[in-house]
Amino acid sequence: MKLGIMVNEGPYTHQASDSAYQFAKAALAKGHEISRVFFYHDGVNNGSRLTVPPQDERNIVKRWSELAAEHKLDLVVCIAAAQRRGLMDKSEAKRHGKDADNIAPGFRISGLGQLIEAGIEADRLVVFGD
């Protein structure tokens, strides 16, 4: 089965990101395909490379990056939601006159069209968070 995943909550404020990550891992282990993981609303914070949890806690951003590298997942952060929360890649930072970027490895910034496309291409679009 081909799945799309949408994550609407931040990595440390809600269970949604952990649940989405565990779901993605389990689906991949069962042989399912994940066409895209789309991060929206506060979920875009899952893509910040500046997140530094305490050493004895899980590093959700790193987990997503590693899963993406291992399975060639497309991790897409909504551009409008990201900009509102100060998350940007090099190109967006330059476009807005900012001196740094903070997108984590494996993530990319794009628009809502990527969510629509994931919903069309996937057999199921699974949403985590409100």
91 catalytic, yes or no? no
Dist CA 90 CA 115 (whole Å): 22
Beta-carbon contacts of residue 110 (< 8 Å; ≥ 6 apart): 76, 77, 78, 79
The helix or strand, by DSSP H or E, that contains position 117, with its residue range, turns out to be helix 113-121
How many Å apart are CA 127 and CA 9, to the nearest integer? 10
Strand segments, DSSP code E, in the chain are 2-7, 33-39, 75-78, 107-110, 124-128
List 78, 104, 115, 118, catalytic entry = 78
SS3 60: helix
Catalytic residue numbers read 78
